Amino acid sequence: MLNKNGIIPLYIQLQNIIRDDILSGKYKQEELIPSENVLSEQYQITRSTVRKAISNLVDNGLLRREHGKGSFVALQKIKYSMWNFGGFTDFLKKQGKIPYSEVIEDEVLKIGGRSYYRMMRARGLKEEHVKLLTLDTSVLPLDLFPDLNSFDFSKNSLYRTLREEYGIFPDRVEVVVSTERCTELTRKLFKMKDDDSLLKVEGTVLSKKGLEIERMSVVYSPDVDFKLITTLE
Amino acid sequence: MLNKNGIIPLYIQLQNIIRDDILSGKYKQEELIPSENVLSEQYQITRSTVRKAISNLVDNGLLRREHGKGSFVALQKIKYSMWNFGGFTDFLKKQGKIPYSEVIEDEVLKIGGRSYYRMMRARGLKEEHVKLLTLDTSVLPLDLFPDLNSFDFSKNSLYRTLREEYGIFPDRVEVVVSTERCTELTRKLFKMKDDDSLLKVEGTVLSKKGLEIERMSVVYSPDVDFKLITTLE
DNA sequence: TAGTGGTCTAGACCACGGT
DNA sequence: CCGTGGTCTAGACCACTAG
């Protein structure tokens, strides 16, 4: 139900309810949601308010209106800023896949008096077999993340740990994209036959305040579609 | 004035009037437009209808609302997240370089009854010699941009033309990044010695509303650092 | 024909910003 | 304080879709 005296606008409350029902799977893809009149009756608010809630969800791409028919749960387009930056695990889980991660190397190292945790992981997803998709190296400053090296990142999501244990949120990345010839390791990991070039992304992950959270380098399997959505501000 | 009995919704009519006043310069950047109450009185329609018109213009990035103050004409920011997407010419000029562009092929083609203008350009900068940096192909729908094929894009900036002649502003890109073996053409253009792989970016340029403005494909010279800055959602 | 979303009216009260 | 945009109500008529 809605809180009519609260500070949160009614259309926002309704919007969140419908959004959660979509994301939780209560309304399935391409399913019809209740009509504006029904919702207006059900929640005891006017149709205008219902429309405002639905309009926002349409703008967000969660719903689609069809005149004379109703409002449908829209097909979920795959949206993410970049493969693997800012949350590989979360991204795959949202797609309903089972993420797989294997720590190949890790160490604590000192550069200029500062301690860093360096970790190389092969990552991918597990279906019948494990399918590896990226080889990535992360370097994180230990003064920002004390005891980070005590987590097992073949089991834990790096970004979830940063959020939940350290309260630090990655905000943006600055990277350079290039091509790289495959090596023995990558050929083995990705089961490559040809001597193809691979896509490589190197750069820095920053917090909202511009704090350097992580330096990383990711080499992508030829099977990965490196998709990218970005605004031109 | 508005046509109250016409087929075009009142909020669309008002929206177009205000849009034209902004683009024609009657309202200047950062200027306050008349308040919702004033517009409602002036055009003899309710405030809701005025709000709908203004909301759409806010969504299009032409206006900005400020609670308690009013609605302002928004500054048209120009920033570039990516090499070449959304304005190669402007980007290079800002760097103090002289852009160079050469149209290699262009044609008008029909796909599914719709007409498109297709253009392949080699682009780069001119110092002592011309240095080519990218080979790119653009496909634009001619119903959105009538007579676009009559411009000479070795001299004119494509994106400036879209903005100034057609009033359409690119907002974001959705692309796939991949690697591609060099061809005869690219080896010649970029004066490559080795048989390296090149970086290729293919995708769509969209307006704020999600309108598809352009399909493009860009192949980068090995001398280009493909830098990328993007926010995580 | 019944139900849906699309548009529009004529009000109301509120929170915010500047005087 | 007044004017601004933000939210909300309670209606109305229309155009579209489907049985």
In this predicted structure, the answer to whether residue B154 has a pLDDT above a threshold of 70 is: yes
Name the residue with higher pLDDT: B51 or B184: B51
* Residue from B172, B49, B60 nearest A59 by CA: B60
Mean pLDDT of B153-166: 77
User: Comparing C-alpha atoms, which of B101, B7, B81, B45 is closest to residue A231?
Assistant: B81
Residue A159 has pLDDT above 50, yes or no: yes
**Chain B residues inside the 8 Å CB shell of A170:** 232
pLDDT at A129 over 80: yes
- Distance from chain centroid for Cα A178: 23
Q: CA nearest B187: which of B124, B132, B137, B150?
A: B132
CA distances from B178 to A19, A119, A219 (A): 34, 26, 12
User: How buried is residue B99: exposed, middle or buried, by Cβ count under 10 Å (0-12/13-18/19+)?
Assistant: middle
pLDDT band for B78, please (50, 70, 90 cuts): very low
For nucleotide C8, give the residue with the nearest CA to its C1'. Answer: B49
Average pLDDT of every residue of chain A = 80
Q: Which residues pair with B110 in a beta bridge?
A: B115
Judge contact between B15 and B53, C-beta under 8 A: yes
- Cβ–Cβ < 8 Å for A208, A225: no
Arithmetic mean of pLDDT, B14-31 = 86
Distance from C-alpha of B164 to C-alpha of B157, rounded to nearest angstrom: 10
The residue among B6, B71, B63, B62 whose CA lies nearest residue B32 is B71
Task: Give the pLDDT score at B110.
Answer: 75
Q: How far is the CA of B35 from the C1' of D4 (A)?
A: 7
Could you give the CA distance from residue B223 to residue B177 in angstroms, rounded to a whole number? 17
Rounded to 5 degrees, what angle do the CA atoms A99, A161, A209 make?
120
Query: Does residue A17 surpass a pLDDT of 70?
Result: yes
Q: How far apart are CA A9 and CA B61, in angstroms?
A: 24
pLDDT of residue B30: 84
CB contact (8 A) between residue A228 and residue B175: yes
Give the pLDDT of residue A50: 97
CA distance B109 to chain A (A): 27
Question: Is B214 in contact with B140 (CB distance < 8 Å)?
Answer: yes
User: What are the residues of chain B with a beta carbon less than 8 Å away from any beta carbon of chain A?
Assistant: 48, 59, 77, 79-82, 85-87, 170-179, 196-199, 203, 225-233
Question: In this complex, which residue's CA is closest to the C1' atom of nucleotide D16?
Answer: A68
Contact residues on chain B for A172, CB-CB shorter than 8 A: 229-232
* Contacts (Cβ under 8 Å, ≥6 apart) of A224: A83, A133, A134, A199
Q: Closest nucleotide to A67's CA, by C1' atom?
A: C5
Which region, left, alpha or beta, applies to residue B163 given φ > 0 means left and ψ of -120 to 50 means alpha? alpha
Is there a contact between A232 and B86 if contact means CB atoms under 8 Å apart?
A: yes
Range with top average pLDDT, A162-166, A222-226, B106-110 = B106-110
Mutate to test the interface with A, among B46, B223, B227, B229 (most CBs of A within 10 A): B229
Tell me the whole-structure pTM to 2 decimals: 0.55
Residues A126-154: what's their mean pLDDT? 82
- If you average pLDDT over residues B194-220, what whole number do you get? 80
Q: Which among B174, B199, B229 has the least Cβ separation from residue A229?
A: B174
The Cα–Cα gap between A174 and A11 comes to 37
B85 burial level (CB within 10 Å; 0-12, 13-18, 19+): buried
Per-range mean pLDDT, top range of A64-73, A111-120, B220-229? A64-73
Give me the total of CB pairs closer than 8 Å, taking one residue from chain A and one from chain B: 101
pLDDT for residue A193 is more than 90: no
* d(CA B119, nearest CA chain A) in Å: 22
Nucleotides, chain C, CB distance < 7 Å = 3-12, 15-18
Of the partner residues B172, B177, B225, the one whose CB lies closest to the CB of residue A232: B172
Distance of B66 CA from C18 C1′ (whole Å): 13
pLDDT of B45 reads 95
Q: Estimate the crossing angle of helix A10-23 against helix A47-59, to 10 degrees.
A: 50
Of A230 and B178, the one with more pLDDT: B178
CA of A48 and C1' of C11: distance in angstroms?
Answer: 14
CB B63 within 8 A of CB B57: yes
Specify the nucleotide whose C1' lies closest to residue B35 (CA).
D4
**Cα distance between residue A207 and residue A148, in whole Å:** 17
Does residue A87 surpass a pLDDT of 70?
Answer: no
In chain A, which residues have their Cβ closer than 8 Å to the Cβ of B81?
Answer: 230-233
Cβ of B67 < 7 Å from strand D? yes
When pLDDT is cut at 50, 70 and 90, the band that residue B77 belongs to is very low
**3-class secondary-structure state, position A63:** strand
A61 — alpha (psi -120 to 50), left (phi > 0) or beta?
A: left
| Distance from chain centroid for Cα A53 | 25
DSSP string spanning chain B?
---TTSSS-HHHHHHHHHHHHHHTTSSPTTPBPPPHHHHHHHTT--HHHHHHHHHHHHHTTSEEEETTTEEEEPP-----SBSSTTTHHHHHHHTT--EEEEEEEEEEEEETTEEEEEEEEEEEEESSSEEEEEEEEEEEETTTSTTGGGS-TTTS-HHHHHHHHH---EEEEEEEEEEEE--HHHHHHTT--S--EEEEEEEEEEETT--EEEEEEEEE-TT--EEEEEE--
Helix axes B47-59 and B10-23, enclosed angle (nearest 10)? 50
Residue ranges near strand C (C-beta within 7 Å): A 33, 35-38, 47-48, 51, 65-71; B 4, 9-12, 44-49, 52, 66-69
CB contact under 8 A, B85 and A233: no
Distance, Å, A71 CA → C5 C1':
8
Q: What is the DSSP string of A89-142?
A: HHHHHHTT--EEEEEEEEEEEEETTEEEEEEEEEEEEESSSEEEEEEEEEEEET
A57: CB partners within 8 A, 6+ apart: A15, A18, A19, A22, A63
User: For the residues A74-92, what does the mean pLDDT come to?
Assistant: 52
Which span out of A26-35, A54-63, A94-103, B147-156 was modeled with the highest average pLDDT?
A26-35
Asked if residue B163 has pLDDT above 50, the reply is yes
Picking from A57-61, A216-220, B70-74, B121-125, which range would have the lowest pLDDT averaged per residue? A57-61
Mean pLDDT check: name the lowest of A196-205, B102-111, B166-175: B166-175
CA distances from A40 to A18, A61, B65, B188 (A): 13, 22, 28, 66
In this prediction, residue A233 has a pLDDT band, given cuts at 50, 70 and 90, of: very low
- CB-CB: which of A197, A227, A230 is closest to B230? A230
The mean pLDDT of B73-95, rounded to a whole number, is 53
**Mean pLDDT estimate for chain B:** 80
- Closest residue in chain B to residue A197, using alpha carbons only: B197
What pLDDT score does B54 carry? 94
* Nearest residue to C10 via alpha carbon and C1': B46
